[in-house]
Structure 1
Amino acid sequence: MTAVIATVAAGAEAWRYGLLLASRSGALAAGTVAASDMAVAGAGWFATVLGLLAGALVVRWSVQAQQAAAARGGRLPSRSARAVVLGWVIPGVNLSVPGSVLAEIEHGALDRPVEGRPRPSWLVLLWWVLWVTGLLLAAVVLAWSFRSGVQAMADGVVLHAVLDLVAAATAVVTALVVQRLTRLLGPPRAVRREVLVAVHPPATRRSRPRNPLRSAS
């Protein structure tokens, strides 16, 4: 849902950018401008609320998954639950800690040696790149909002749209990462096999005995 609403928000920003270009050559209808503003504001706030809710669930899951991965390898977690939570929310620190936590979870879930260094898979690396890109881009958008002027406004709309698309991609990859690591940490599923118990030969039709009187005649 977060990915869908973030994509809608990106579309609303693209609509606003188109109206800005159209306003250079003529006046715009008040209803169209109002609808665009409502779409941008509504989708933006909805995406923010869903993103925060999804983020809280992912943080909670990461704490439990880290503990499960450590218990699987017979060791203590490398970070406390408080350190994991703070690593997600403290600016600057959240550029590295979340990716490291996911890499450690994956390392333990794959039953790799405890003394070995975690080597994240391409999926975790992709998530890490999207996560860092989104955080840095969010900081740029925040700083850009203090600029004034028509060109700065237009550039800000483009930056918002790109940020929404990055957020949508991050939400999708987050769901894939959580699903994969949860399956690796979960108990193995029993494989159902069909066992051959017995073989019954096909029934044959018995021929009827001939009538002796008819055969004699």
Structure 2
Amino acid sequence: MRRTLRPSMMELMDRATINAVEDHAPRGLDRTAGALLLVQSDAPGEARVAEIAVVEAACVAAGASEVVLTDDPAEGEMFVEARRMAFPAIEARGALLLEDVGAAVPLLPDLLAAVAGIAALHDVEIPTVAHAGDGNTHPIIVYDPADPASERRARAAFDDILQAAIALGGTITGEHGVGRTKKSALPDQLGEDVMALTRRIKDALDPAGILNPGAVL
């Protein structure tokens, strides 16, 4: 389908995110849904109708419990606003550790399942939103900054999510880079040979070690 269609938006909210939004600013979303996939087309005229028909058929074929179509701008904006509300709603629940791991689009269900399992294992809340069209996900780990045990569990969950993405052949960062927070997982993704080559390039360009010291290399 992705070879012929280019939706202008394809965003995903998992159940934990749906419930966070409904707790914060109710929109009438189905709290029992496994996830909500929001797809928008900006194709002209009949091409838009055809594009949405293909998306609808794909959702039905994949087992969607409900598919809602609308060409009403106000109704469409209601769903888009629910997605925009995700981060403020989750921020209201506590301190956050934000991920931006990615996996191949067909493996998104596996990545979401892995995140849910990690949340249960470490007894932390991890709502996930995703730019589902390119496989880029944002698991958002919620913890109590006043509780050292809560923060330890959150950081352990953070590390496990990185490893889950790597295990699926994905990436530890889809949008925001590695920096200091994720640098310990970078060798697991790239391999020691690539890390060694990268260090040689860094040393050649920065023999004095003054360019962004300590961030990754």
Choose between structure 1 and 2 for higher RCO, CA contacts under 8 A separated by at least 6 residues: 1
Higher-Rg member (1/2):
1
Range class of TM-score, shorter chain: under 0.3
TM-score normalised to structure 1 length: 0.24
Greater helix share, structure number? 1
TM-score normalised to structure 2 length: 0.24
